[in-house]
Amino acid sequence: MNESPGPPPPSRTPGTHILKVSAQSNPNSVAGALAGVLRERETAELQAIGAGATNQAVKAIAIARSYLEASSYDIVCIPEFIDVQIDGKERTAIRLAVERRSK
């Protein structure tokens, strides 16, 4: 029986903590990556283009919040619009800055 590998994990831009989320991203995988970054650093960033990707990113933030409860962290999210270049074209994306707070 051939099983599909499922959606790809969120891509991380090398040298930064920007998690790029697509409409096909698994929110649990994104949440795990986000929680991992926030355990090491105080801030992380998710980037999404389109309604589906934004939906997955917001779900991932909610899930990551529950993952970080055991570490006594809470998180806040600061959304903003940004312009990004993709294949030479300018697109509008949602940037979700996520900050770790101690409980």
Three-state DSSP at 102 gives strand
Specify the CATH number of the domain 16-102: 3.30.110.20
Is 14's pLDDT higher than 70? Answer: no
Q: What pLDDT was estimated at residue 53?
A: 98
Per residue in 63-85, pLDDT (tens digit) is 999 999 999 999 999 999 999 99
Is 8's pLDDT higher than 60? Answer: no
Identify whether the C-beta of residue 61 lies closer than 8 Å to the C-beta of residue 75: yes
Distance CA 93, CA 103 (A): 31
Is 11's pLDDT higher than 60? Answer: no
DSSP symbol at 6? -
Per residue in 23-58, pLDDT (tens digit) is 999 999 999 999 999 999 999 999 999 999 999 999
Give the residue extent of every domain in the chain.
Answer: 16-102
